[in-house]
Amino acid sequence: MSSVDVSNLSAPFCLLETRYSYIFNTCLLEVFIILLLTVLIICGNLVVIFVFHCAPLLSHHTTSAFIQTMAYADLLVGVSCLFLHHLQGLDPKLTCQVFGYLVSVLKSVSMASLACVSVDRYIAITQPLTYSSLVSPFRMRCCIVLIWLYSALIFLPSFLGWGKPGYHGDVVEWCAVKWKTSPAFTSFIVALLYAPATLTVCFTYANIFKICQQHTREISERHPQYQQPANYPDKRYARVLFRITSVFYILWLPYILYFLLESAGIYHHPAASFLTTWLAISNSFCNCLIYSLSNSAFRKGLKRLGSLFLQHSISGFGVRHTKKTFVGSVEKGYAGPGYGYDHVETEIGTTCHV
């Protein structure tokens, strides 16, 4: 292959060149979508990481470890978007395989972390008395290491030439035109990653809501005076679970379905590939919104951090002083026994955390 061919195949090109391109510049729209999501993903996850870094006590809960793992993986996905249009002149095949492998591993870590968050919350609800012994810091760290190892191994066949993972490198022509999907590899990935993660999220959150609804009903029967107040937390809890599961399925299901259809040779369209892929990638931004801002302690810490930055930007204090003040304020009142996601009272003295 000549150097000219390599340059052409490794050059960025537009996936959104549909028959409607004469109405408006679809390539400009594509660049806008990529830039917007890149900025949102990087900024959103940097905020999450910064808040946890500045307030170590927020990291004492096991769920926070998975949220931080997810934030780092999603941040790296956002950083990878910065290199999409800087691949020209490199070997197209090797570039696509390396880039596709690394990005797929990061997306796998993010999705597996989502599933682990749901399992963690499920154990906390179903086994509240033995939760601390079942989910110890050591087991949590081992689980995070296994997530990274499993993600690295499951996509290794694509790096060795067996199939193509679905990822956002298709803005490079060789990745989109020459690198073909494999039905066997796609089925392998769906069976060992996407399907288990999707079913885990569905099962755990459905059962969590069922258990908390049952507890609320029991409280209403045993304590009629609490019947009216119990209705509102139950609805609030339902909204939290609805947000979590809906965002997860809305962003991932189109991508998984198109991934299967394309691999089977049933349907292929560049615009559909671009839109479903970047819809799934947008989950890297939504994760920091749903899983961090739904966390009551993190939300308080974020508000406190924002107010401190505002105060010190006006008074002229430095970042180091702001961090010190923020850590002190969180340790005093923002990270305590009530740490957790939005919750509902399930019994007198116990709490049902998302």
Any idea what the CATH number is for the domain that residue 221 is in? 1.20.1070.10
Residues composing the chain? 354
Task: Decide if 151 contacts 108 (C-beta within 8 A).
Answer: yes
Q: Which residues of the chain have pLDDT under 70?
A: 1-26, 56-60, 84-90, 166-174, 176, 223-241, 291-293, 295-297, 312-354
Question: Do the domain assignments include residue 287?
Answer: yes
Helix axes 92-126, 227-263, angle to 10 degrees: 150
Residue 79 located in a structural domain: yes
pTM score of the predicted model:
0.76
Say if residue 192 is exposed, middle or buried (CB neighbours under 10 Å; 0-12, 13-18, 19+).
Answer: middle
Q: Which two three-digit tokens encode residue 93?
A: 């095949």
Which pLDDT score, from 0 to 100, does residue 314 have?
66
**How many structural domains compose the chain?**
1
Residue 6 belongs to a domain? no
In this structure, is residue 8 part of a structural domain? no
List CB contacts of 289: < 8 A, sequence separation 6 or more. Answer: 44
DSSP 8-state code for residue 268: -
For residue 14, is it within any domain?
no
Is 112 a member of any domain?
yes
In a domain, 15, yes or no: no
State the alpha helices, DSSP H only, in 2-86. 3-10, 26-54, 62-81
What's the confidence (pLDDT) of residue 236? 62
CA dist 116 → 44, 89, 112, 156 (Å):
21, 40, 6, 22
Residue-number span of the structural domain to which 329 is assigned: 27-353
The reported pLDDT for the residue numbered 344 is 40
Q: Is residue 11 part of a domain?
A: no
Number of alpha helices (DSSP H) and beta strands (DSSP E) in the chain = 16, 2
